[in-house]
Amino acid sequence: MRVLIKVALGLVVMMPPAAAGKTPEQIFQEVSRSIVTIQAFDVADNVISLGSGVVTAAETVITNCHVIEGGQRLSVASGRQTQKAELRVADPDRDLCELAVPGLQAPRVTLFTARVRVGQRVYAIGAPEGLDLTISEGLVSSIREMEGAHYIQTSAPISSGSSGGGLFDVEGRLVGLTAFILAEGQNLNFALPASWITDLAARSGSKLTLSDRDAVSDKWQARSVELRQKKNWVELLAVTQQWVRAVPAAVPAWIALGDAYNLVNRPRRAITAYNQALKLDGNNAEAWLGAGNTYLALNQYDRALEAAQEALRLRPEHVPGLMLLGGAYHHQNQRARVREVQVRLEKVDVNAAREFARKFITN
């Protein structure tokens, strides 16, 4: 019996310790040279976008398409070297783009394309806000299915400029590409799985290019409409955030984002989205209506009144615009103006006029 115990103890002593992985410092030293900074320039050579990218093969960088959308010229910086880059493959549906970077001297990362585990430790490396490369630590919080695709949710912080950066496991393998933030809660950061990188070439043949902005926008619009019908507000917000990144010049995208923010009770963020839509197109009645109703909810009645007047300038006698106008007058205690709006509504829509009277006209 004593012999057996000694043998058992010997086996325990001789067993190798469980693998703990590499330290954050080791991971950063090994993979940081594979993370690059990307700049997109307009026709006047002004920087319009800044993001990150990951070297996945010789002279090849993977990033999010929204990082380079609208760019007439692209550059990739690695260390002290900067090279010109060109779009090679685009998959806007997955917000994944591959760049050719002739002359790029940087090691490629090792891909981990199997499914990650919820709870495993990960590290995000990128260039947030255009700063030098930084590393942040977190966990895989969940695997989220959105629009039929599986995204990695992580508590590792992702900031503006980190889009297109790398998400690595404890062995320094690339498990995902940091993509977007759901701003309505803490630690709601998302990455595209690394397995999508291996699918990119096969999917590119039938995929749209970045120049097909209207078609790309139509796809995002259809997704948004479907989620609104399902009343899935959280996914709607995530989708509209991706939409404005994929097609930042699309006015409907910013309006949809404003609507989504309102649906999750974030009116101040909604105002920012509507104002961006109006910056792109000051003659969009829907954007004025969205902004006006949000100002009304924020008790900013003067601004709500101005927005209602702009909306009605563009679409005279439009019922939603008249309702907004009357609501703004009501909260300013301008009773005569409120009754004037009711008279206008009665000429356009009797039922709307009755609803308006119940809501805003007191005896």
Q: 326-341, pLDDT tens digit by residue?
A: 999 999 999 999 999 9
Q: Which two tokens stand for residue 351?
A: 């039922």
Residues 172/131, Cβ–Cβ less than 8 Å: no
CATH code that applies to domain 33-100: 2.40.10.10
Mean pLDDT of 59-88: 89
Distance (Å, rounded) from C-alpha 318 to C-alpha 321? 5
Mean pLDDT of 237-255: 84
Instruction: Give CA angle at 147 (169, 165), nearest 5°.
Output: 30
Superfamily of structural domain 213-360: Tetratricopeptide repeat domain (1.25.40.10)
pLDDT value at position 362? 64
Mean pLDDT of 123-127: 88
pLDDT of 168 > 60? The answer is yes
Signed CA dihedral, 284, 91, 50, 25: sign only: positive
Instruction: Give the three-class secondary structure for 241.
Output: helix
Instruction: Read off the amino acid at residue 157.
Output: P
Q: 255-307, pLDDT tens digit by residue?
A: 999 999 999 888 988 999 999 999 889 999 999 999 999 999 999 999 999 99
Q: Which residue has the higher pLDDT, 215 or 349?
A: 349
* CATH 2.40.10.10, the chain: domain bounds: 33-100, 121-199
Residue 93 buriedness (CB in 10 A; 0-12 / 13-18 / 19+) = middle
173 pLDDT band, cuts 50/70/90, is very high
Question: What topology does CATH give the domain 121-199?
Answer: Thrombin, subunit H (2.40.10)
CB atoms within 10 A of CB 55: 26
Nearest-10 crossing angle of helices 213-230, 233-246: 170
Helix and strand element counts for the chain (H, E): 13, 12
